[in-house]
Structures are given as structure tokens and as C-alpha cells.
């Protein structure tokens, strides 16, 4: 198609109005819009927690026993069971207030550290979620569904691990950035492939990223049990990384809180700046929102499709490297507890906006961390978190369900951020 130069301007103007109305203007567009943007996610989380409570009640035997005695005692027992479980969830996520107070009054540094550890552990758990959520969100903004965060995370971790243990004798100031960069690069390559194929051949990125996930898993299987295996170990696990490749920690054991959290916040800020304050970000969002208009305005769809997937992959890779250089200091196949798939839920919960993503990541980190304690104290398997996340994702993706439950009015136009194209396009 050959276009004349004149209509391009008009297309650009129309486009600008369309996009400003949706992306950039939304946070500024008055209180009502903000409330609209916040209320559905909030209700989604609350509803999911309520359903979670129901599941806990239905799967606890003591409740049935109490109901057999009398309905009143059954209700009391139900409340007690839910209270115990969610109380443990809260204490596991933020620390037990009574314990913290006791520790502070005792003045024992070790006791204080142990009491406030749950809170910092939640931040540690939230860090990979921030990266993963940003990865998915950036993909969405570019009109792409990056379901391959998990695979990109694995490849990023592999690269970071390799650079982390194989390079020796470097000062931290050189080694640490190199390691982070290696992780980002690994993820970027894993994202680049589906992005390139999408842009050049039209092959759908969802299928390709799923396939790339499994290629990454098998690759990790092979590397960790073969070339990258720790010599003295029987299990498929990589060697320990050098001290110079580790992110600094702020407190003594047992608090594992490390600089990666602040790095993730900085990256989130950079992503926000890139998406909403640079021309490139504008191009990326335009290609995502309306590729036809973008092409009409002279933007390169191929370039920005590849870039969106590449940057998204790099962010996912950083999630992987963060786990290696901040938390585990080595890599085993079990190092990711499904961060990649959870990230889809939290990117949508955060409305594909960096601020929303960070908040959702903090929530998901707290949930996942708190659930560990809930499992120990109340005997509720940690997998209930996945159920909650699936429910949250469902309510966010189908806001009509939430609206009909709470009798909310339908929101106006511009609510749907994810305007993905169909399989064939």
C-alpha cells in the first residue's frame, strides 16, 4: 500500500486523542475514573478471599462435626476456622503484631529480626512478581500476550547463574551488573524469537511463547543435570555463584531482604517513563492499540512487535536473575513457584500499569508468603493461593461478574485495556 503524506497527520491526530483518552489520561481524569479503575480490582480480591474462606470451611472436617451438633456451633466453628487461617495468612505476610511488640520490648536484636522477618519476606516474594507483572503488562500494552514469562524467567536465571559462577575475580561493581544484564539478555532472546516470528510470519505469540516455555524447561533440565551441574552434588543444581555477583542484603539472618526490591521499583519507574513519557513508548502502545492506525501513521509494526516482546522477555529474565542473585545464590529446577503464570493475573489486576503492577505484586507476594505460615499453622495447603489468583484473574477479566454481584453500574468506554487481536491476525 502506498500512502500519501498528507493524511498521515490527521491519522496521527485522531490516534493521539484516542490514546491519550485511554492510557495517559486515565489516572488524571478525575476521581470518578480512578475510583472505577480501583473498585473492580478491589472487589475482585475481596470476593476471591470470600470464596477462599468458603473453600476452607467446606474442606475442614471439624466444621462438619460442629454442624452435626448444632447449626449455631457450626457457624461459630466456621468463623473460627476461617479466622485462624486468614489470621495465620496475615501474620505470615506482615508479622505477628504481638510478637513484634514483645520482641521490641525485650530489645534482643535477633528476636526483633525474627519477628519482623515475615514482612520483609513478603517483599522478597513480591520482587520477582514485580518484574513478571511488568513483563506481561508491557506485552499487553504492545498488543501482545506474553504467556511465556515462565520460560523467559528460566532462561534469564540460567544466563545469570552462568555468569554468576563462571566469571571469577571480578569486583562486585562489574560482576553484579554483568549478571543482571545476562539475565535480562537471556530473557530478551527468549522473548525476541516469538516476537520476531509474530512480526515476520504472523505466527501467534501465545502458542509460540507456550512452546518456548517448554523448550526452556527442557533446556534447564539438560543444563542443570549436565554442563552446568554442581560437581559435588547428586541433584541437578548449579554451582553457587560468586560473592561478587550477589545482591547486597540489608540485615543479618534470617532476613533475606535484598537490594533487588529497590532495583525492581526503579525498573518499574523506568517502564512507566518509557511507556508514557517517551516517543518509543507511544509508538509501542499505538502499535498495540491499533496496528492499522499505527502503520498509517508511519510507525513500524515489525520493529515495535519485536521490541515489545524483547523488552517483555528482558523484564521476565530479570525476575529469574533476581531469584538467583538475591535469594537462592544458585539455580535448581524448583526455583520458580510459577511466577510466570501468576504474573498474568497480577498484570491484569494492576490494569497493565506499572503502578498497578507494583501494588498487585506486593499483594501477591504477601499472599504467597503468608500462605506458607497458613499451611503450617492452620493446615491449609499453600495451593489455595493459586485458586485465589485464578478467581481474581477471572473477576478482573470478566468484570461483569463482579458488577452483577455488587450491583455496580457499568463503566464507560476505555475500560478494557487488553484489546488483543484474534488468533489469525
Partner 1 sequence: MATIALQPRYKLVSPTRQRVLGIIYLALAFLLWFAFIRPLTADAVTTFGMTPGGLGVRELAPWQLPTRTTILLMAAVTAVVGGVQLVRGFGRWSTLVLGLVVGVFVFGFLIWSAAGRSLNLAGLLRATLSAAVPITLGALSGVLCERAGVVNIAIEGMMLAAAMMACLVGSITHNLWIGLLGGILTGALMAAVLAVLSIKYMTNQIISGTVINIFATGMTSFVSSKFLQTNQALNDPGVFRTFPIPGLVDIPLVGPIFFHNNMFVYGMFVLLFVLQFALFSTRWGLRLRSVGEHPKAADTLGINVFRTRYMAVILGGLVAGFAGSYFTLGSVGRFDEVMTAGRGFIGLAAMIFGNWTPFGSFGAGLLFGFANSLAAGIAILGSSIPSEFLLMAPYVATILVLAGVVGRGQMPAADGTPYEKE
Residues in touch with partner 1 (CB under 8 A): 55, 59, 145, 147, 193, 197, 200-204, 206-208, 210-215, 217-219, 221-222, 226, 338, 341-342, 344-345, 348, 379-381, 383-391, 393-394, 397-398, 400-401, 418, 420, 422-425
DSSP one-letter string for 289-329: H-HHHHHHTT--HHHHHHHHHHHHHHHHHHHHHHIIIIIIS
Whose Cβ is closer to partner 1: residue 138's or residue 147's? 147
Q: How far is the CB of 246 from partner 1 (least distance, A)?
A: 29
Whose Cβ is closer to partner 1: residue 113's or residue 295's? 295
Interhelix angle 301-322/339-349, nearest 10 degrees: 120
Whose Cβ is closer to partner 1: residue 107's or residue 226's? 226
Q: How far is the CB of 239 from partner 1 (least distance, A)?
A: 19
Q: How far is the CB of 290 from partner 1 (least distance, A)?
A: 15
Q: Give the C-alpha separation, 126 to 161, whole Å.
A: 21
Of 79, 47, 51, 84, give the one whose Cα is nearest residue 66: 79
CB contact at 8 A, 260 and 194: no
Q: How far is the CB of 106 from partner 1 (least distance, A)?
A: 36
Of 180, 133, 207, 185, give the one whose Cα is nearest residue 361: 133
Q: Give the C-alpha separation, 8 to 178, whole Å.
A: 43
Q: Give the C-alpha separation, 331 to 419, whole Å.
A: 36
Q: Give the C-alpha separation, 309 to 347, whole Å.
A: 15
Q: How far is the CB of 337 from partner 1 (least distance, A)?
A: 11
Give 281's contacts (C-beta < 8 A, 6+ positions apart).
Answer: 273, 274, 275
Of 58, 60, 53, 118, give the one whose Cα is nearest residue 83: 53
Q: How far is the CB of 180 from partner 1 (least distance, A)?
A: 27
Q: How far is the CB of 207 from partner 1 (least distance, A)?
A: 6
Amino acid at each position: 500500500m502506498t500512502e500519501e503524506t498528507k493524511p498521515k497527520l490527521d491519522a496521527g491526530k485522531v490516534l493521539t486523542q484516542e490514546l491519550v483518552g485511554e492510557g495517559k489520561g486515565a489516572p488524571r481524569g478525575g476521581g470518578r475514573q480512578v475510583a472505577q479503575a480501583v473498585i473492580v480490582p478491589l472487589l475482585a480480591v475481596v470476593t476471591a478471599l470470600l470464596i477462599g474462606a468458603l473453600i476452607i470451611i467446606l474442606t475442614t472436617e471439624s466444621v462438619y462435626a460442629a454442624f452435626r451438633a448444632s447449626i449455631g456451633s457450626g457457624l461459630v466453628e466456621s468463623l473460627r476456622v476461617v479466622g485462624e487461617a486468614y489470621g495465620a495468612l496475615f501474620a505470615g505476610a506482615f508479622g505477628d503484631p504481638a510478637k513484634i511488640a514483645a520482641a521490641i520490648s525485650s530489645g534482643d536484636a535477633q528476636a526483633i529480626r525474627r519477628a519482623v522477618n515475615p514482612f520483609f519476606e513478603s517483599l522478597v516474594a513480591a520482587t520477582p512478581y514485580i518484574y513478571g507483572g511488568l513483563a506481561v503488562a508491557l506485552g499487553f500494552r504492545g498488543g501482545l500476550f506474553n504467556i511465556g514469562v515462565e520460560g523467559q524467567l528460566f532462561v534469564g536465571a540460567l544466563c545469570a547463574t552462568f555468569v554468576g559462577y563462571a566469571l571469577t575475580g571480578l569486583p562486585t561493581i562489574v560482576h553484579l551488573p554483568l549478571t543482571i544484564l545476562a539475565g535480562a539478555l537471556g530473557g530478551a532472546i527468549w522473548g525476541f524469537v516469538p516476537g520476531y516470528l509474530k512480526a515476520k510470519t504472523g505466527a501467534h505469540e501465545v502458542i509460540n511463547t507456550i512452546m518456548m516455555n517448554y523448550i526452556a524447561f527442557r533446556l534447564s533440565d539438560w543444563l542443570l543435570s549436565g554442563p552446568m551441574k554442581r560437581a559435588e552434588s547428586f541433584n541437578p543444581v548449579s554451582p553457587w555463584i560468586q560473592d561478587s555477583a550477589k545482591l547486597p542484603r540489608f540485615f543479618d539472618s534470617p532476613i533475606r531482604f535484598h537490594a533487588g526490591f529497590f532495583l525492581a521499583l526503579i525498573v518499574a519507574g523506568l517502564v512507566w517513563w518509557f511507556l508514557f513519557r517517551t516517543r518509543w513508548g507511544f509508538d509501542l502502545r499505538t502499535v498495540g492499540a491499533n496496528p492499522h492506525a499505527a502503520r498509517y501513521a508511519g510507525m513500524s509494526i515489525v520493529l515495535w512487535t519485536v521490541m515489545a516482546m524483547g523488552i517483555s522477555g528482558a523484564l521476565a529474565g530479570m525476575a529469574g536473575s533476581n531469584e538467583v542473585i538475591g535469594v537462592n545464590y544458585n539455580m535448581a529446577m524448583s526455583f520458580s513457584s510459577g511466577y510466570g503464570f501468576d504474573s498474568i493475573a497480577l498484570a491484569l489486576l494492576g490494569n497493565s500499569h506499572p503502578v498497578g503492577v507494583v501494588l498487585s505484586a506486593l499483594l501477591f507476594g504477601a499472599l504467597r508468603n503468608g500462605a506458607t505460615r497458613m499451611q503450617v499453622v492452620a493446615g491449609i495447603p499453600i495451593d489455595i493461593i493459586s485458586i485465589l489468583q485464578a478467581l481474581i484473574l477471572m473477576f478482573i477479566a470478566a468484570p461483569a461478574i463482579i458488577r452483577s454481584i455488587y450491583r455496580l453500574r457499568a463503566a464507560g468506554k476505555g475500560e478494557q485495556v487488553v484489546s488483543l487481536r484474534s488468533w489469525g491476525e
